[in-house]
Amino acid sequence: MSDSSAADILNKIKPLMHKRVGPYNSWNPVSRTQIWQWCSAMGDHNPLYLDDQYRAEHSEFAADKAVAPPAMMQMWSMRDVNGHDGPGSTTDNLFEILDALEQEGYAGIMAVSYDQTFHRYLEEGDRAHHYSTIINVSDLKTTGIGKGFFVTQLAEFMDQNDELFAEARITYFKYQVPKKPAGASKPSAPGKINRIHPVENHDHAHFWQGLRDGKLLIQKCDDCGELRHPPQPMCEHCQSLRWSTIESKGKGTVYTYTVMHYPEIPPFDYPNAIVLVDLEEGVRIVSQLIGTKPDDIKVGMSVEMKLTEVQEDMTLPLFHAADPSTTEKP
């Protein structure tokens, strides 16, 4: 690791900013099949996208052209599964700045925000490409995971007429990975690797605070009464922004599960049973099932929550089998 001061590093990398890199071309035009796959995977049933009759009667869009959900914007000009950009794409390196920071010892990277603006819908047959520009690098900042720089990238998504249909501002934190994980100096936990605490912001701080207070809180729309989880600012049924919470009893059934065996990534215990639990209150939550052998886990089995302090700063709603005969003896 070099000993450059933060000012030296910034002087070195600032000339690499504001370079617009692109185009990154699409492999395929916007197609009904891909829109269908997305909507089906996301559970998005908005009839505007794929229902031609609905579009003819209720919108100004062409009846015979499927409309792409705005959130698909990044997908159209994405690399293929082998990591190759579409034909005619640039080979310039957008991430020179990230590489330079890495060489200065800031090897960690975490995505911290993704702000999107949509200017128009794409329709079947449209063809997308995008450009990217690093538009900002912060001064050296100290955070809970280490010291580093916030780097903001602007992605401009263009159509076949070179008109902007969407844009995104993506911020990464490029940081020095601490040599010793937090807490490593405590004799009781030598070298223990902690779970990374999820970001707590305005939209979900109530959920994490609730867990610390010993409660699993589920959001309830103040207008239509629908419950929702995970936390989000708006009710997807009535678009209301008004909400309160109810306390879950923590009882439910396993909707589905998967058991992770390999690779064994700390800090999790293996085999690691991840479950989707349908809570009695009517929402689904992702969690970890503890105390049951993988072979004994069954879809539909009754489970109960056990609020567990997995580490000093984190309480999680883990689940165990409600029937004690399926629970492993410690």
Contacts with Zn ion by CB under 5 A lie at 221, 223-224, 226, 235, 237-238, 240
Least distance between Zn ion and beta carbon 232 (Å) = 11
Both tokens of 43, joined, read 């559970």
Q: With the C-alpha atoms ordered 104, 108, 114, 120, is the resulting torsion angle positive or negative?
A: positive
Q: Please, what is the minimum distance in Å from the beta carbon of residue 284 to Zn ion? A: 18
Neighbours of 262 (CB within 10 A): 7
User: What type of residue sits at position 180?
Assistant: K
Beta carbon nearer to Zn ion, 79 or 242: 242
Q: Which residue has the tokens 């000339």?
A: 15
Among the listed residues 244, 253, 196, the one whose alpha carbon sits nearest the alpha carbon of residue 224: 244
CB of 207 to Zn ion, least distance (A): 18
- Measured from the Cβ of residue 29, the count of other Cβ atoms closer than 10 Å reads 14
Nearer to Zn ion, 223 or 264 (CB): 223
Q: Which of 139, 159, 161 is nearest to 151 (CA)?
A: 139
Q: How far is the CB of 46 from Zn ion (least distance, A)?
A: 17
Q: Which is nearer to Zn ion, 221 or 277 (CB)?
A: 221
Q: How far is CA 14 from the centre of its chain?
A: 29
Q: Pick between residue 120 and residue 242 the one whose CB is nearest to Zn ion.
A: 242
- Among 213, 204, 214, 177, which Cα is nearest to 193's? 177
Contact yes or no for 124/65 (Cβ under 8 A): yes
To Zn ion, the closest distance from the beta carbon of 228 in angstroms equals 8
| Cβ closest to Zn ion, residue 198 vs residue 233 | 233
Nearer to Zn ion, 226 or 296 (CB): 226
- Show the tokens assigned to 2: 């070099």
In whole angstroms, how close is the CB of 286 to Zn ion at the nearest point?
23
